[in-house]
Amino acid sequence: MGGAPCLAYPRSMTGNGRGSLVGAFRFAGRGVLDAALLQRNMRLHLVAAVLVAVFASAVPLGLAEQLALLASIFLVLSAEVLNTAIEAVVDITTGELNERARVAKDAAAGTVLLLAAGAAAVFAVVLTRNWDAMRAAWRDVGRVLALGLPLAASSALLVFRVRRPLRLDLFAGACGAAVLPLIALLSKSLVFTAVAALAFVVCAAAAFARRGRG
């Protein structure tokens, strides 16, 4: 423990005192937001989560397939948040080039890569197994997917670091907020619609948090 810095956290993070649970959720949410702000791949995975969740909202999937897709989405996003934490800790404790620091960062990034590859494989299996059902109900599926594309585009516009006027962020946020209720009305799974909404909200929060931080 020798030279490691000692960080003093606010009282609400220790679990003592009133409001500590609310504080814990607030700090956890800030960690997810920091990952979206700092990690390009987190931004990519958030947009991918919107697309996958919209797909799962459009197609009537079995329970096992739904659980596999849910696990894939949240494992990849959680790994990105953990990767952000590991990189921050390594940067704090190592002020210069260090081989062990490189190994730590590369291994953390490799974990995300493996999980993302596994998630892609799961999605491919679910897609191929349900291809005939999608073709049979292509009108209903097409309606949801047609609404999902503007939602994904709005999410991408909000979360990626591109210089743009505030009115464009407001337009993208309003567009996504307007599309989500329509997707919910046509959805085969409100759980996945909620996942798409959650990913969109993180993208929107990242856009406005970036402006607040200058």
| Catalytic positions | 80
Count Cβ atoms within 10 A of the Cβ of residue 209 and give its class: 0-12 exposed, 13-18 middle, 19 or more buried: middle
How many C-beta neighbours within 10 Å does residue 71 have? Answer: 13
**Strand, helix or coil at 214?**
coil
Element (DSSP H or E) covering residue 88: helix 63-93
| Single-letter code of the amino acid located at 49 | A
- CA 56 to CA 134: how far, in whole Å? 11
Instruction: Give residue 80's Cα distance to chain centre.
Output: 9
